[in-house]
Amino acid sequence: GQQVMQIPQYQHVQEGEDFTTYCNSSTTLSNIQWYKQRPGGHPVFLIQLVKSGEVKKQKRLTFQFGEAKKNSSLHITATQTTDVGTYFCARRGMNRDDKIIFGKGTRLHILP
């Protein structure tokens, strides 16, 4: 009930190609967060989406929140070697006792 499903689990792209990872939930989300974890590192917060249909950009990264607030995507344009890592989406509620539940992540590997 509280899980968020991420696809794909792994993605290999040629440097310069685009990359997209998807996050899906069976229930309506109050918000969705995205994190990046470099190999050997810890997760680092990228962004939070709250509004239905919201689109936010950070340089080459575009984040979308679905109209029904049940799915989200992260798109990277023209990947670079610095984009290597695992990208996680996470759901959390606004209530006091709500947890932060992470998807299993999409591991991005860049081929030079």
Partner 1 sequence: NAGVTQTPKFRVLKTGQSMTLLCAQDMNHEYMYWYRQDPGMGLRLIHYSVGEGTTAKGEVPDGYNVSRLKKQNFLLGLESAAPSQTSVYFCASTPGGGTEAFFGQGTRLTVV
Residues that bind partner 1 (CB under 8 A): 6, 9, 30-31, 33, 35, 42-45, 48, 50, 88, 90, 92-105
Q: Rounded to the nearest 10 degrees, how much is the dihedral formed by the CA atoms of 42, 45, 50, 53?
A: -90
| Min CB(45)–partner 1 separation in Å | 4
Specify the residue, 50 or 111, whose C-beta has the smaller distance to partner 1: 50
| Min CB(16)–partner 1 separation in Å | 28
Specify the residue, 59 or 97, whose C-beta has the smaller distance to partner 1: 97
Specify the residue, 12 or 99, whose C-beta has the smaller distance to partner 1: 99
What is the DSSP annotation of the chain?
Answer: ---EEEE-SEEEEETTS-EEEEEEESS--S-EEEEEE-TTS--EEEEEE-STT-EEEETTEEEEE-TTSSEEEEEESS--GGG-EEEEEEEE-SSTT--EEE---EEEEEE-
Specify the residue, 15 or 98, whose C-beta has the smaller distance to partner 1: 98
| Min CB(69)–partner 1 separation in Å | 14
| Min CB(102)–partner 1 separation in Å | 4
